[in-house]
Structure 1
Amino acid sequence: MFPVLETDRLNLRQIHERDRESIYTLFSNENVLRYYGQSPFENEEQANDLINHFNNIYTNRKGIRWGIELKASEDLMGTVGFHLWSPNHRRAEIGYELLPSYWNNGLGSEAIKRVIQYSFTEMKLHRVGAVVFVENDASNNLLEKLGFEKEGLLKEYMFHNGKYKDTYIYSFLKN
């Protein structure tokens, strides 16, 4: 059964087909995807494909992605979760995004803290990694504020909008 997580203000839950419109809105937003490493969606079928992907990585123990919603609403405002999950090595990489109208009010931080807690207690991870575009100041600052350690620079690690982009690599260790 897919784990449902709660925080003071948020429900983190499985992403369903009924979320197609919200996922499309999120992943077609150029501001959201500015540092994401993918092009904006052009149709809702792409949202369906992503929802299926999120559910498949969970089924196949390759990752887990939660939809983020305010407790007072059932509208999806973003997603958070893990990919590149390696149970044998007890590590995964975190990813997240929120619609711009929810930026700068602590909701992303609240969701990330909760899934990291879950990763250490239930997934038995030892390391949570993150890869972030160098110029993504908001995400770099957020991770550092949450206690992630910047480990280094990955030169020309991502190809985005016709250019190679440098990224930082971060870690958050259980201990």
Structure 2
Amino acid sequence: MIPILETDRLVLRELTEHDAQDVLNCFSNADVLRHYGQNPLTSIEQVKQIINNFSKNYDEKRGIKWGIVLNGQEGIIGTIGFQEWSTEHKRADISYALFPESWGKGYAKEAVNRVISFGFQEMGLMRIGAVVFTENEASNKLLTKLGFEKEGILKNYMHQNGVPFDTNVFSLIKDKTS
């Protein structure tokens, strides 16, 4: 069972099949996907399979994905999680996506901060990475503000709608003193 995480305004909880329509809405939205490197999702069945895979990935310690919910509300406003989780190498990559109506309100910063502390304190990570489209100004700014260091650029690393994009590679290394 994926642990529930809380912040002042948010609850990060396991995605269930009840979230399938919200996940479909999020990941079929062109604005959300513009800098995500994923084809649009097309059906509830496809989404339910993906949600079941999230649970399996967590059980197998390969990844973890939460739904982001506003405190006191039901439906999700986005997702956040780790993929490429390696317990052996104590690292994982973070990714997140919010519905456009939730952009610019500080929710991503709040969720990312909480997930970073969970990664370092509960998962035993020493390195959290992020791969971000160079054009994704909001995400590049957010990660920099949270202490991530830009390590370089990967040329033509991700494709969106058949178009290759360069990505920035970021890392946040656990402070040895904490």
Q: Same fold (TM over 0.5)?
A: yes
- Name the counterpart of 2:43: 43
Indicate whether 1:21 and 2:21 are aligned. yes
State the 1:160 CA deviation: 2.0
Alignment-derived partner of residue 65 in structure 1: 65
Q: How does 1:59-138 map to 2 (within 5 A)?
A: 59-138=59-138
Work out the CA distance in 2 between the residues paired with 1:65 and 1:43: 19
Unaligned runs of 5+ in 1: none
- Secondary structure, in 3 states, of the residue corresponding to 1:51? helix
Once superposed, what is the RMSD of the aligned Cα atoms? 0.9
Paired with 1:69 and 1:13, the residues of 2 have a C-alpha distance of 8
Residues 33-78 of structure 1: CA deviation (Å, up to 9, x unaligned) = 1111112122212211221121111111101011100112011111
The amino acid across from 2:103 in the alignment is W
Separation in structure 1 between the aligned mates of residue 9 and residue 99 of structure 2, nearest angstrom: 16
Aligned length in residues: 175
Name the SS of the counterpart of 1:32 in structure 2: helix
Cα distance in 2 for partners of 1:157, 1:41 equals 21
Asked whether the 8 Å contact 2:80–2:94 carries over to 1, the reply is yes
Whole-Å separation in 2 of the counterparts to 1:68 and 1:30:
20
- The match for 1:12 is 12
> Counterpart of 2:156 in 1: which secondary structure?
strand
Whole-angstrom CA distance in 2 between matches of 1:150 and 1:27: 27
Give the residue type in structure 1 aligned to 2:58: Y
Q: In structure 2, what is the equivalent of residue 161 of structure 1?
A: 161
Note the C-alpha offset of 1:159.
2.1
Is the CA contact 2:34–2:160 (under 8 Å) kept in the aligned structure 1?
A: no
Q: TM-score, normalised to structure 2's length? A: 0.95
Q: For residues 41 and 90 of structure 2, what CA distance do their matches in structure 1 show?
A: 32
Q: Which runs of 5+ in 2 are unaligned?
A: none
Aligned to 1:146: 146
- Report SS of the residue matched to 1:78: strand
- Give me the TM-score of the superposition, normalised by structure 1: 0.97
Cα separation, 1, equivalents of 2:34 and 2:159: 12
- Runs of 4+ in structure 1 deviating by more than 4 angstroms, as ranges, are none
Secondary structure of the corresponding residue to residue 47 of structure 2: helix
Residue type matched to 2:133 in 1? Answer: F
1:86-112: per-residue Cα shift (whole Å, max 9, x none)?
001000000100000000000010000
Offset from partner CA, 1:119-173 (integer Å, 9 cap, x none): 0010000000000011111111111111111000111111221222110000011
